[in-house]
Structure 1
Amino acid sequence: MKPLLLAALLAAGAAQAGTAIVIGGALKTDNDAVWQRIVDEAGGAGARIAVFATAAANPARSGAQIAAALNRRGAQAEVIPVAPRLAGADLAANLADPALIAQVKASRAVFFSGGAQELIVDTLQPGGQPTAMLKAIREVFDGGGVVAGTSAGAAIMSRMMFRDAQDNLDILKGRWRERREYDRGLGFVGPDLFIDQHFLKRGRIGRMLPAMRAFGYRLGLGVEEDSAVVVKGTAVDVIGARGALLVDLSDASSDARLPHFNLRGARLSYLDRGDRHDLATGVTTPAAHKLREPRIDPTASDYKPYLRADTYFLDILGDNTLVTAMAQLLDSPAPEVRGLAWRARPRNGDAAPDVGFEFRLYKGPGLTGWFSGALGGEDYTVLNARLDVQPVRVATPFVTPITAP
């Protein structure tokens, strides 16, 4: 990692007293690893937690479900009635209610529900200006407390966020606008780390890379569903059902002569559940059950690749496809693995319907990893895979039927 980036991360980590727990969405009620970690970080049994269902379509139901899940793990969680869609509530009055603000300040943790992240920023930070309620939340965090959020509640964790950008290919093609597809977040993970959620399930590497380049980020964390990252200073713990993708653009470059998004030299690391990573030093410590297995090093003399090497991924932005491709790169004899991001059926308004993007993962210095089946799956940790993204022309239609003579 470059010295200036290291210094910035060390400074940001030192300035943040609180703990951010970023949940990738679709958090199951029986995911004890995540729910219990929230309670434990907030102080354990009896911890007071303020629940904000601000983003939810049905705030009363979502808030009650979240509070119940936390209380089953020993917390004293209560819903704060600050949500635009909460029936019968006076939003403006509740935002400024001294009793509610005092209740938040007395908490050791704040939890943001899923839903529409724009409702969180528009409610708590209208026009970019913090409300008294947001100041109270920051007071909890700055005092060493916890801010946790799932889905929409995760999106608001970085200083910039996706507001409503569901189509990865649109973002790759540059079709996104301020206050429509992207907006300012609340910045609980500091100014230098970009956050995205539902990441592997929805192939959101396609939108993260252009955003990181546009907003000046060097590091990004894409958190998978039913999983979380616990960010405390520069330390990141991965917990839950799966993991998170760490994107490092410290050495990445682009060719300005090309008319579409392109990238060379990005580094991707898949951090699995139980792994720990230090953002300042760049050192990853795999989970204990991984360390009991041999390290996979493609440069080692005893390297024995396990996987086949001839797969081309026709939908690299598909459900968990990217991590599958990274595992194949690590554990096969292939020097590279390629995949395509494209749209089979052009959409109205697409000025470049024949443009796609080829993702080239390739071996480079530092590529290493671990594999374990101890938890019942085929679980890889993959560090320092290299990635290039190249715009390409895709035939339209992609296939032509063979007809009888």
Structure 2
Amino acid sequence: MRLPGARRAPRALLALAGVLATGLAAGQTAIAIGGALRLDNDEVWQRIVDEAGGQGAHIAVFATAAGNPERSAAYIAAALARRGAVADVIPVAPKLPNSDPAARVGDPALIDTVRRARGVFFSGGSQEYIVDTLMPGGQETPLLRAVREVFAKGGVVAGTSAGAAIMSRSMFRDAPDNHMVLKGVWREGKEFDRGLGFVPPQLFVDQHFLKRGRIGRILPAMRALGYPLGLGVEENSAIVVKGDQVEVIGGKGAVLVDLREARSDARLPAFNLQGVRLSYLDRGDRLDLGTGAVTPSARKLAEPRIDPAAPDFKPYYRNEPYYLDMLGDQTLLNVMARLIESAAPELRGLAFRARPRAEDPAPSLGFEFRLYKGPGTVGWYYGGQGSEEYTVLNVRLDVLPVRVASPLFTPLEPGAAEGVTAAKPPEAATSAR
């Protein structure tokens, strides 16, 4: 049985590539933050202010996505003011009490406030609120056009969590379950929708990436929507995008997903991919989207390169663990980092739901992730100043559908464990003391 939506999404979004890509000049800056941005993350907050012009720069704050817009806007405004900016809160949000967002998106005073700003900041929350408010039915409102004017004049547009999701020309709308997306639950206007398109049109952006195991949803999304490149940004971290140039800043990093050489087996009845290239870029690393070249941070370049193909390579790890939750918190990065320092040519793991939901279209369907070394698989490591940073380039990934037993296991009953020998506890040692 072929799962619904496991191959391709409706073509409506495929036509968006040229609709929202509005001339990304070198001076235009988009900053996508992976969510959970800490108030003390000076590097990210200060970079937003500096890109807007520094001390005294006006930044329009949109808490449109927030469940509590007043509280969210106040938090963001305080963080920006602490770094020298002037935050102008734009009170346009579905959850704002006694507010009519449909009327306010045409308010001349608010439009003028945005136009005079040098930067725009979108809060976290529900990204569908941003799109439905500023671009209802795909039609740009005057307030969104004012945001685009700021960007077109060389200003910065930044966003965290939901505010990062809107950065590409299409986005996840409400797809919290990675397993369901892998299984083909993939509907326009439900799990995915159009974004606002502040990054180059070939790039898909996702957030909370390692924390929430979102490699499981970005792969089907990119394949269905025709994206060759994706960047999954981790929490409390950000990517700074200027044209084709990307810099990673903040607390951690981002995963680069490259599907340009990936292929699928049409004979298989569920989602599958072979030959995906994965790279992990930590803070300070830079990426050229045009050439694909990655430049690690200076502190990592000062350390020896980790090259598993080199004659003098000395692996740090010898065993080959099998991972039972490939979509777990930080699992993807842990596997990539271990592989680069391992004697093993590959590492494998499963993505499956031990207790399928009632609405699950295929309860026994799981996916095996095979990460392996290939040409150009190299890395760098820096462990100074109490930090642990990796750059890992060109790890290959295959994702294949598998059938998982349900239930996965059953308890052993007394006297019924034929063929199973339990380990006996060691006898207590006598002490001479």
State the Cα distance separating 1:95 from its structure 2 match: 1.1
For 1:256 and 1:188, locate their aligned partners in 2 and report how far apart those are by CA, in whole Å.
34
Counterpart AA for 1:211: A
CA deviation string 1:276-325 (max 9, x = no partner): 11111111111111111100001111111112432111001000000100
Preserved CA contact (<8 Å) 2:24 2:200? no
Partner of 2:331: 321
Question: Paired residues, what number?
Answer: 396
Partner of 2:211: 201
Flag structure 2 segments of 5+ consecutive residues without an equivalent: 1-17, 416-433
State the Cα distance separating 1:400 from its structure 2 match: 2.1
For 2:49 and 2:27, locate their aligned partners in 1 and report how far apart those are by CA, in whole Å.
17
Aligned-residue identity in percent: 70
Flag structure 1 segments of 5+ consecutive residues without an equivalent: 1-7
Instruction: Name the CA shift for 1:12/1:363 in 2 (closer, same or farther; >3 Å).
Output: farther
Aligned ranges for residues 291-330 of structure 1 at < 5 Å? 291-330=301-340
Does residue 1:93 correspond to 2:103, yes or no?
Answer: yes
State the Cα distance separating 1:15 from its structure 2 match: 4.7
CA deviation string 1:235-258 (max 9, x = no partner): 111011100000000000001111
| Equivalent position to 2:390, from 377, 380, 387 | 380
Aligned ranges for residues 356-371 of structure 1 at < 5 Å? 356-371=366-381
Partner of 2:363: 353
Partner of 2:128: 118
Preserved CA contact (<8 Å) 2:278 2:393? yes
Partner of 1:344: 354
TM-score where L is the length of structure 1: 0.96
Preserved CA contact (<8 Å) 1:16 1:142? no
SS of 1:138's partner is helix
For 1:93 and 1:344, locate their aligned partners in 2 and report how far apart those are by CA, in whole Å.
47
| Equivalent position to 1:28, from 27, 38, 55 | 38
State the Cα distance separating 1:351 from its structure 2 match: 2.6
Partner of 1:278: 288
Preserved CA contact (<8 Å) 1:13 1:234? no
For 1:169 and 1:375, locate their aligned partners in 2 and report how far apart those are by CA, in whole Å.
38
CA deviation string 1:349-370 (max 9, x = no partner): 2231111000000000000010
Preserved CA contact (<8 Å) 1:160 1:187? yes
- Report the structure number with the largest CA radius of gyration: 2
Partner of 1:398: 408
Preserved CA contact (<8 Å) 2:24 2:242? no
Preserved CA contact (<8 Å) 1:16 1:190? no
For 2:224 and 2:284, locate their aligned partners in 1 and report how far apart those are by CA, in whole Å.
32
| Equivalent position to 1:150, from 138, 143, 160 | 160
Preserved CA contact (<8 Å) 1:357 1:389? yes
Does residue 1:133 correspond to 2:165, yes or no?
Answer: no
Q: Which moves more between the two structures, 116-125 or 306-315? A: 306-315
SS of 2:75's partner is helix
Preserved CA contact (<8 Å) 1:203 1:322? yes
TM-score where L is the length of structure 2: 0.90
Counterpart AA for 1:152: A
SS of 2:32's partner is strand
State the Cα distance separating 1:190 from its structure 2 match: 2.5
For 1:352 and 1:84, locate their aligned partners in 2 and report how far apart those are by CA, in whole Å.
36
State the Cα distance separating 1:13 from its structure 2 match: 7.3
Does residue 1:244 correspond to 2:254, yes or no?
Answer: yes
Question: 4+ residue runs of structure 1 moved beyond 6 angstroms?
Answer: none
State the Cα distance separating 1:39 from its structure 2 match: 0.4
Partner of 1:4: none
SS of 1:77's partner is strand
| Equivalent position to 1:172, from 182, 187, 204 | 182
For 1:148 and 1:353, locate their aligned partners in 2 and report how far apart those are by CA, in whole Å.
39
State the Cα distance separating 1:232 from its structure 2 match: 0.5
| Equivalent position to 2:82, from 72, 97, 104 | 72
Partner of 2:423: none
Does residue 1:107 correspond to 2:92, yes or no?
Answer: no
How well do the aligned residues superpose, as a CA RMSD in angstroms? 1.4
Instruction: Name the CA shift for 1:302/1:196 in 2 (closer, same or farther; >3 Å).
Output: same
